[in-house]
Chains A and B, each alone.
Chain A
Amino acid sequence: MNTRKLSEKLGFAMLAACMLIVTLLLAVILFDIASKGAGRISWGFLSEMPRNGMTEGGILPAIVGTFLVTLITAVLAIPLGMGCAIYLNEYATDNQPTRIIRMAIRNLSGVPSIVYGLFGVVLFVQLIHLGTCVLASGLTLGLMTLPWTITASEEALKTVPNSYREGALALGATKWQAIRTNVLPYAVPGMLTGTILGLARAAGETAPILFTGAAFFLPFLPSSPLDQFMALPYHLYVMSTQHHAITLVRPIAYGTALVLVVLVFAMNLAAIILRYRLRMTRSE
């Protein structure tokens, strides 16, 4: 075998090895969580409140809390993010201020989540006097998700051919009419896909909700946006490190981890299916 063929095979082998290592890592993590957590999963686990100092019972409040905070995140991030993307892509002129704004948005997605948490404490908890609550956490996570939503929405808008915009204008549509009736309907699926991915990430974040509303234990479910709440990622942290009997409750921690992983996977899967579906309709 000559050296060229050898180096070709070597190169391929190295790349394949990288892929295998990554896949193996994921498999190990998933296997660990699933094997140790599956035993704990039951309908009771998912629907009951924690009992007996959180050593027994279920994780219902954490599930509900994560759901509620993700909902508020969505309510903030989706309209604001889409609106911003529409303005940037359809209306803003390509000058220096616009470019700086775009760069700022891209950079915002790289800000560490704990910094967002701190920002949320100062702005939402203290300055606006919301106190620590679901709303404050949801708004903080919403801010964190915004750069993702804006970027994904801009990309989605860019995939809509310009001929649709021009065709609509040539028929006597105003610019907003053209966008609303002939651009947005085709961009929204892509916008939603990116947003769902961002929301899946937000659902699993601990740092932003740490100081802004997540609680160690609450014997009741949040009844208003101004209540504190429990959340899956924080509950996992609590069960793993803060509880007074961590070895005893380890199975509960694993169960929580499994529920969280399944939730995030489900959201990612929904986004992938949505993207697949819209690729199918686009190619017709």
Chain B
Amino acid sequence: MEKVKIRAEDFSFYYSGCRCLKSVTMDMRENTVTGIIGPSGCGKTTFLRSLNRMNDVVLGSRAEGRILLDGKNIYDPDVNVVEIRRRVGMVFQKSNPFPKSIFDNVAYGLRINGITDRDFVRERVEKSLSDAALWKEVDDRLHKSAFELSGGQQQRLCIARALAVEPEVLLMDEPASALDPTATAKIEELIRELKRSYTIVIVTHNMQQAARISDYTAFFMLGELIEYDLASKIFTTPSKKLTEDYITGRFG
């Protein structure tokens, strides 16, 4: 059994009076892919964003409970949230390359974290683009605009950008939802490769995708964690009826 990397302990999230997450307790294990599934509006993305405190920017919100990264609560008042976000990276649902060159996109994270050594930056950019399976496609046009890339390439660029700051955890919010099947397959293969070095938590609408790539799966509904188990178990013999109904498509 793998070591626990991130643990949510009785975690709730309040926004505009509504309780969007209700006492979620869940372990995400090192070097595994944890898939989060559930119908729309059930708090999957809210939960994901709580893991790197991106929800802090939401005005009028409140978090209760604990999220432990390597045993330390990231919501402790003495925690440097900027450091958390470096350690827990995020890839957004709609790829958001910055209006800079490909090189500058990937180097952005390094530069704002104070790394200016040009050789080091160049090496790290190459490594990140390779890890994101994009290097070969862009090595001859690093200084072209990131917008010239296709949708799938842009998403891999965003992954490379997140990897450049050497996070320990990678949060992915429906990373392939806007992509065609070929590009999706590439991303999924990439995720299988990445989990060897990173802990991955992925939110997905696509149940088949969750079945394909996740080691552990969590089923959320209306802000509650209904069931959490090995993917192999969730998709074959789920314990809760609600899970079974969702998996078999009785509602969605």
Contact = CB atoms under 8 A, between A and B. Distances in A.
A170 B147 contact: no
A176 to B, nearest CB: 11
B89 interface: yes
B98 A164 contact: yes
A41 B4 CA distance: 82
Contact of A172 (B57, B96, B112): B112
Interface in A176-220: 177, 181-182, 186
Contact of B109 (A163, A171, A284): A171
Interface stretch (B11-19, B80-88, B183-191): B80-88
B86 A164 contact: no
B165 A167 contact: no
Contacts of B112: 168, 171-173, 177, 181
Nearest to A170: B90
A170 B57 contact: no
A247 interface: no
A171 B171 CA distance: 12
A167 B145 contact: no
Interface string B107-151: 011011100000000000000000000000000000001010000
A167 B85 contact: no
Contacts of A94: 59
B57 A166 contact: yes
Given A168-B112, A170-B90, A172-B109, A284 B85 contact: no
A170 B52 contact: yes
B56 to A, nearest CB: 9
Scoring B90, B92, B112 by chain A CB atoms within 10 A of each residue's CB, the highest score goes to: B112
Contacts of B82: 172-174
Contacts of B165: 171-172
B87 to A, nearest CB: 8
Interface in A153-169: 161, 163-164, 166-169
Top 10 A-B pairs, shortest CB-CB distance? A172-B86, A163-B96, A171-B109, A170-B90, A173-B112, A172-B85, A167-B96, A177-B112, A172-B82, A174-B82
Contacts of B54: 166, 169-170
B98 A172 contact: no
A93 interface: yes
Contacts of B203: none
B7 interface: no
Contacts of B161: 167, 171
B28 to A, nearest CB: 18
Categorize the interface residue count of chain B.
Answer: 20 to 34
B59 A93 contact: yes
B187 to A, nearest CB: 18
Interface string B69-110: 000000000000011011001101010101100000000110
Contacts of B218: none
Contact of A167 (B52, B59, B92, B111): B92
B92 A163 contact: yes
Contacts of B59: 93-94
A168 B113 CA distance: 11
A93 B61 CA distance: 13
A167 to B, nearest CB: 5
B57 A171 contact: no
A59 B113 CA distance: 55
Contacts of A282: 99
Contacts of A181: 108, 111-112
Which of B83, B89, B99, B108 is packed against the most chain A CB atoms within 10 Å?
Answer: B99
A171 B162 contact: yes
Nearest to B53: A169
Given A171-B85, A171-B165, A173-B82, A166 B92 contact: yes
Contacts of A166: 54, 57, 92, 96
Interface in B143-167: 145, 147, 158, 161-162, 165
Nearest to B83: A172
Interface in A101-155: none
A181 B113 CA distance: 12
10 contacts: A167-B92, A167-B96, A168-B108, A170-B52, A170-B90, A172-B85, A172-B109, A172-B112, A181-B111, A284-B147
A171 B89 contact: yes
B100 to A, nearest CB: 9
- B92, B96, B109, B111: residue with the most chain A Cβ atoms closer than 10 Å: B96
Contact of A163 (B83, B94, B145): B94
A167 B83 contact: no
Interface string A81-113: 000000000000110000000000000000000
B237 to A, nearest CB: 37
B98 A170 contact: no
Given A164-B98, A284-B145, A284-B147, A169 B83 contact: no
